[in-house]
Amino acid sequence: MGDRAETTMFSLSPGFPLAMEFGIEGEYCPSFTSPFVVRKEWDNYLQDRVTAFAEEVRPEVMLFDGVAPYSGFMRAISSMPDVVVGWLRRGMWREGSNDHQLQKTKGFDFVIEPTDLASEIDTGATVGTDAIRVPPISLLEVMDRLDRASAAAALGIDPDRPTLLLTLGSGRLGDVAGPGSTALDTALRHPEWQICVTNSPVAVNLVPLVDDPRVNEIKGVYPLLRYLDAFDATVSAAGYNSVHELIPAGVPTLLIPNTSSKTDNQEGRAAYLADLGVALAARDDDLAAVARETEHLLDPSVRARLVEEHRASGIAQRVGGATAVAAELTKPPAPVGREMAKNSWNAPLTSRIAGAVLGESGKARLKTLLGRSVPDHAVERVEVRLGEPPSGPEGEVLTLVITSERDRIDPRAAYPIEHVMAGSSEEYVERRRQIVAKYYEVVE
């Protein structure tokens, strides 16, 4: 957006503090996976947080980015008839997956769908829907890359050795240790190669490192795009962001789709790009294929072919969505009488019935039997004190920290954190304290 608008972010991502390092203003809010807010109360908590934040910021336009607008968010915007609200929604949904989310379209004034390098094979629920379609979004549009020598120096690696980047994501939705270890072991059989393994600050499932001087852990480096010229090849996840940075950038890449992804059709995306000849692909649950394709990736002739196919495809010129979305937001439509009935945005009826009949713990057990992941929310209420982080065990009582300092936000902390945007009004800080009192049991 540049200087065309004042932008503020409200983020559920534990990686948001990294974005704040680039001068992005905003606020971090714990997601429903937080162990400190009871799951059945979280949507109400989110509704209160979004409502209070909007009253403080007073936006003209709000844009929700994601494939599943939360009920708490939908209820919050139902009380903002004068705010233009849009939905930024990527496609490439798994066929038959997440269809019910499209019912929430009526709660927005407009929808923007960034297309995908693999849109040609998209058969998900968003195909044919009424949306403003823009090119794929990529950081390549707005960020320069360091030359090889500078990038290698910044990462502390030898610029004269062939270098493999191994970056399979946070592991929040599936296994990265198995395919990651397979790729790493395969690469280590080639003594000329050095390997860089990313350690995401939001990771919950890492690739185990081995004691070898050729293995380098990359930790706290963001965005990785700036350093891509330090690498000769990459073994990467096949999510939207990874693909739309690595492939247009022309880095010879082996894509390993996350087969546990609920909505994103990563297998289809990876297979399409492999068929196009601009990448290699192997499923994360086929370790033999991961080993075989890693071997292929390390072959100079294979990498040369990938580079040539990349040039011939013109795929580097297909990004541009960030610029297009920014242009759309400078001329958003007026509110169009979107659905304002707060009761329309409760949980699906089947989920509410299950909760009523089985209870929350019974519903969690049912989800486990059905193979769905369920966050561990054993507590019914979190008792907290306000103040500094605890220096040691304090029994059942935790110390909750309310802070406006970016460096104090630690989503992995063993105590709850309530982040307040820097420069907030006294009225907003007081409102946030009221929300704390509502959702935590505050003790003296």
Using an 8 Å Cβ cutoff, are 232 and 166 in contact? no
Burial of 50-72, coded b for 16+ CB within 10 Å and e otherwise, reads bbbbbebbebebbbbbebebbbb
Q: Is the CATH number 3.40.50.2000 carried by domain 145-317?
A: yes
pLDDT in tens, the chain (444 residues): 888 899 999 999 888 888 888 888 999 999 998 888 888 899 999 999 999 999 999 999 999 999 999 999 999 999 999 999 999 999 999 998 889 999 999 999 999 999 999 999 999 999 999 999 999 999 999 889 999 999 999 999 999 999 999 998 754 555 678 899 999 999 999 999 999 998 865 555 567 777 889 999 988 788 899 999 999 999 999 999 999 999 999 999 999 998 888 899 999 999 999 999 999 999 999 999 999 999 999 999 999 999 999 999 999 899 999 999 999 998 887 776 777 655 556 654 444 443 445 444 444 443 334 333 333 433 345 566 666 655 545 556 788 888 888 888 887 788 888 999 999 999 999 999 999 989 888 776
How do the domains of the chain map onto residue ranges?
Answer: 145-317
In this structure, what are the phi and psi dihedrals at residue 401, rounded to the nearest 5 degrees? -110, 125
The rounded distance, in Å, linking the Cα atoms of 271 and 282 is: 8
Between the CA of residue 398 and those of 392, 401, 430, 441, what are the distances in Å?
A: 10, 10, 21, 10
Using an 8 Å Cβ cutoff, are 164 and 190 in contact? no
Q: What is the pTM of this model?
A: 0.86
